Structure 1
Amino acid sequence: MELSDLIFSFFCCCSLIFSGVQGSAHHYHDGRGHNHRGDYGFRPTKLFVFGDSYADTGNIRKTLANSWNIPYGITFPGKPAGRFSDGRVLTDYVAKSLGLKTPIPYAWRKIGAKKLRYGMNFAFGGSGVFDTLGALLPNMTTQIDFFENLVNESVYTKWDLQSSVVLVSLAGNDYAAFLQNGGTIQGLQGFIPRVVNQLAVNLKRISEFEARKIVVTALQPLGCLPRITQLTSFQQCNTTQNTAVQFHNLLLRQAVAKLNNETKRSNIFVLDLYDSFTTILDQKNDLKAGKLKFESPLKPCCLGTCAECSCGSLDDKGKKLYTVCSDPKSAFFWDSSHPTQAGWRAVYTTLKSGVEQFVQILQS
């Protein structure tokens, strides 16, 4: 099938399937177009996280990422702490919405043992459903292995799992690695189903640990990331890449619907990051009181000053090879791929009604 045929069939499917499974864009869904009441009296006490740099709060090794370099973390916690932003990231806001403290990164488990009661974050920046940088980064399967080892060691009990919420946020790096390693946009039509199928296998495995609720993110519009929009001076998203992302998200919703039907439970929900991002980035939308509007939404706050430079890069003498905007709160994107804290807060705001509804479902 040619890409043009794929896109045509994709949009035909959208008109039929989205009407049945997507529902309101700013809500959590079980993939079947309606929300269900949760377990009576359920109160989440822990958050477990699997994913990539959108969810990582300090797992990535310092030798592998600039997220441990200044100016990362300048807004929160005031210094670099491994988060790929100037401050808080998706994990922090999901934890907040659930009334929980941000769980400790897996890499800090021994030095922060007292914080194990909040859950644990297994997300590593740069990782994917499959391997993205060889053995340097644990893919999703390996992250779940880490989790299973802790369960087998009785670090977490069956009750801990039954009183927890799981956040899953990844897949963008799989497609970036595919294209960087010689893959083509046309080739994505065969690769996307492979990624979603493996993601579904992993979601089923997590569900078998008896975690009550799993939140998996729909993929953000990759064609709107600054590393892509820099080709148009940060003026225009790449619609071809975004169409591929929409196809991924369609298959993801179908997979979630199938899993929920197979288990006879509605314990997996899709969090629509795609719609949230595009709502904020589309300046035509009249957002509440204009508080979520950013002057140049596609332009990042922190930019490398050379072709091979990125935010946080230094030369051999320690000289900065990047520039930072005067006010990170004025920018949606922090660097070439990640939102600022203000950006994540805006995303959370657009999703707030859905988040609140999800919490009500948990507690009803």
Structure 2
Amino acid sequence: MGAVRGILVVAVVLAVATILAGAAEGKVNGKAKGKYRALFNFGDSLADAGNLLANGVDFRLATAQLPYGQTFPGHPTGRCSDGRLVVDHLADEFGLPLLPPSKLKNSSFAHGANFAITGATALDTPYFEAKGLGAVVWNSGALLTQIQWFRDLKPFFCNSTKAECDEFYANSLFVVGEFGGNDYNAPLFAGKGLEEAYKFMPDVIQAISDGIEQLIAEGARELIVPGVMPTGCFPVYLNMLDEPADGYGPQSGCVRRYNTFSWVHNAHLKRMLEKLRPKHPNVRIIYGDYYTPVIQFMLQPEKFGFYKQLPRACCGAPGSVAKAAYNFNVTAKCGEAGATACDDPSTHWSWDGIHLTEAAYGHIARGWVYGPFADQPIFQSS
């Protein structure tokens, strides 16, 4: 069994090396190591490394329970995955320690901090309250709130001259997002549908733009701004929706109109970034792609070492008989009674029907660093 698994691992590595040659070469040769002095990360549950739990573990939270964290570090950390997230893999690629959650006391922030927190939105709470969605959205730290947390920690990064801070930030990478997923979930989970969610889009994009501008004003000179994932491929939505037969992608099994929604958000986001770049000619702003890799995980899973199957959560429980294949049950979510994890999360891209596995996040991170999952690789050979 061990020999078979070893052969499988080698095959997977070779397949991924073929499709992401730059990523594999960069990792082997350590080309990206030393590129940055620090990382600063902002976002939601896709990037939260423990901020939600930093003030004490709430044992009612599923992410405070195994099997969250089973792959890394072997116990729950507040990460919504079996292990490391994109930002953790980025730190590995750059030879930096994993970023501590910004709210974790007695931490060293010499190499940056992670401000992401589960439930975060691009828009502030009053926006949702004005639309009658205050009770639906769970906003524990919107983008501008996280940027204020960043300002509050400034003495831990550079505490002497402005020139010192400017130099430190100029040699750091700022990861801004993804933002938008939770903003759109507010109307979607309230049953208001995509038509209402589309109305949020201009304001979400503007909020992300405002956040980028504020970080640039603080001294950021290299930023990567991720888009959203293809919503229609995630078991949490597939379990919720009833679509006509022609509403699903014939190969992927994803809901087309929800994926179109995500694609439109990303198109607007990229257009916004294109407008920002001429305003800040000395700043590099990169678009990070979450959408394309997840689609590839669905259509060409074998190239990443994943099983070929309909969108399916590794950790969860079957719902209704008609939708049992998605392995998502709102009354028995991952980490809750009745849910179990698959034997090998590295063979799945979807961890809990909402978030990704460590393996999937690793492919995405290396695709951002070396290509092809960014509009320009973070690391570029001189």
**TM-score, normalized by the shorter chain, greater than 0.5:** yes
2-structure distance, mates of 1:136, 1:280? 30
Deviation at 1:171, TM superposition (A): 1.5
* From 172, 178, 190, the counterpart of 1:164: 172
2-structure distance, mates of 1:351, 1:213? 13
State the match for 2:324 in structure 1.
none
State the match for 1:5 in structure 2.
none
State the match for 1:95 in structure 2.
91
State the match for 2:70 in structure 1.
74
In structure 2, what residue type is equivalent to 1:82? Answer: G
Equivalent pairs, count: 311
* From 364, 367, 371, the counterpart of 1:354: 371
In structure 1, what residue type is equivalent to 2:174? Answer: V
2-structure distance, mates of 1:136, 1:351? 28
**Is 1:308 the counterpart of 2:300 in the alignment?**
no
1-structure distance, mates of 2:76, 2:41? 21
Do the aligned residues in 2 keep the contact of 1:280 with 1:292 (CA within 8 Å)? Answer: no
Q: Give matches, 1:112-261, under 5 Å.
A: 112=107, 115-131=108-124, 137-151=140-154, 153=155, 155-157=157-159, 158=165, 159-169=167-177, 170-230=179-239, 236-261=253-278
In structure 1, what residue type is equivalent to 2:184? Answer: Y
Do the aligned residues in 1 keep the contact of 2:137 with 2:182 (CA within 8 Å)? Answer: no
Deviation at 1:358, TM superposition (A): 3.4
State the match for 1:335 in structure 2.
352
Against the structure 1 CA distance between its residues 311 and 259, is the aligned structure 2 distance closer, same or farther, given a 3 Å change threshold?
A: same
State the match for 2:312 in structure 1.
299
2-structure distance, mates of 1:349, 1:160? 24
Deviation at 1:347, TM superposition (A): 2.7
Q: Deviations over 1:197-255 (max 9, x none)?
A: 11101111111111120111011111111102235899721111111111111111111
Q: Secondary structure at the match of 1:167?
A: strand
In structure 2, what residue type is equivalent to 1:254? Answer: R
Do the aligned residues in 2 keep the contact of 1:218 with 1:271 (CA within 8 Å)? Answer: yes
Q: RMSD of aligned C-alpha atoms? A: 2.8
In structure 2, what residue type is equivalent to 1:358? Answer: P
Do the aligned residues in 1 keep the contact of 2:112 with 2:157 (CA within 8 Å)? Answer: no
Q: Secondary structure at the match of 1:165?
A: strand
Against the structure 1 CA distance between its residues 291 and 278, is the aligned structure 2 distance closer, same or farther, given a 3 Å change threshold?
A: closer
In structure 2, what residue type is equivalent to 1:278? Answer: I
1-structure distance, mates of 2:197, 2:138? 23
In structure 2, what residue type is equivalent to 1:111? Answer: N
In structure 2, what residue type is equivalent to 1:259? Answer: L
State the match for 1:21 in structure 2.
none
Do the aligned residues in 2 keep the contact of 1:280 with 1:346 (CA within 8 Å)? Answer: no
In structure 1, what residue type is equivalent to 2:358? Answer: Q
Q: Which has the higher contact order (CA 8 A, sep 6+)?
A: 1
In structure 2, what residue type is equivalent to 1:97? Answer: E
Of stretches 340-349 and 256-265 in structure 1, the one that deviates more from structure 2 is: 340-349
State the match for 1:32 in structure 2.
none
Q: Deviations over 1:251-290 (max 9, x none)?
A: 111111111111223421101111111111113x7x6xx3
In structure 2, what residue type is equivalent to 1:324? Answer: A
Deviation at 1:304, TM superposition (A): 3.7
Against the structure 1 CA distance between its residues 125 and 300, is the aligned structure 2 distance closer, same or farther, given a 3 Å change threshold?
A: same
In structure 2, what residue type is equivalent to 1:165? Answer: L
Deviation at 1:351, TM superposition (A): 4.4
Do the aligned residues in 2 keep the contact of 1:53 with 1:125 (CA within 8 Å)? Answer: yes
In structure 1, what residue type is equivalent to 2:314? Answer: C
Against the structure 1 CA distance between its residues 302 and 293, is the aligned structure 2 distance closer, same or farther, given a 3 Å change threshold?
A: closer
1-structure distance, mates of 2:190, 2:257? 19
Of stretches 42-51 and 66-75 in structure 1, the one that deviates more from structure 2 is: 42-51
Q: Deviations over 1:6-65 (max 9, x none)?
A: xxxxxxxxxxxxxxxxxxx99xxxxxxxxxxxxxxx941000000011111111133373
Against the structure 1 CA distance between its residues 307 and 201, is the aligned structure 2 distance closer, same or farther, given a 3 Å change threshold?
A: closer
* From 293, 315, 329, the counterpart of 1:276: 293
**Is 1:104 the counterpart of 2:104 in the alignment?**
no
Percent identity over the alignment is 29
State the match for 1:57 in structure 2.
49
2-structure distance, mates of 1:297, 1:96? 31
Do the aligned residues in 1 keep the contact of 2:81 with 2:355 (CA within 8 Å)? Answer: yes
Do the aligned residues in 1 keep the contact of 2:90 with 2:366 (CA within 8 Å)? Answer: no
Against the structure 1 CA distance between its residues 344 and 176, is the aligned structure 2 distance closer, same or farther, given a 3 Å change threshold?
A: same
TM-score normalised by the chain length of structure 2: 0.74
Of stretches 194-203 and 262-271 in structure 1, the one that deviates more from structure 2 is: 262-271
Against the structure 1 CA distance between its residues 84 and 297, is the aligned structure 2 distance closer, same or farther, given a 3 Å change threshold?
A: farther
State the match for 2:282 in structure 1.
265
Q: Point out where structure 2 has 5 or more consecutive residues left out of the alignment.
A: 1-18, 21-33, 126-135, 160-164, 319-328
Do the aligned residues in 2 keep the contact of 1:276 with 1:351 (CA within 8 Å)? Answer: no
2-structure distance, mates of 1:264, 1:74? 44
Deviation at 1:182, TM superposition (A): 4.3
1-structure distance, mates of 2:369, 2:223? 17
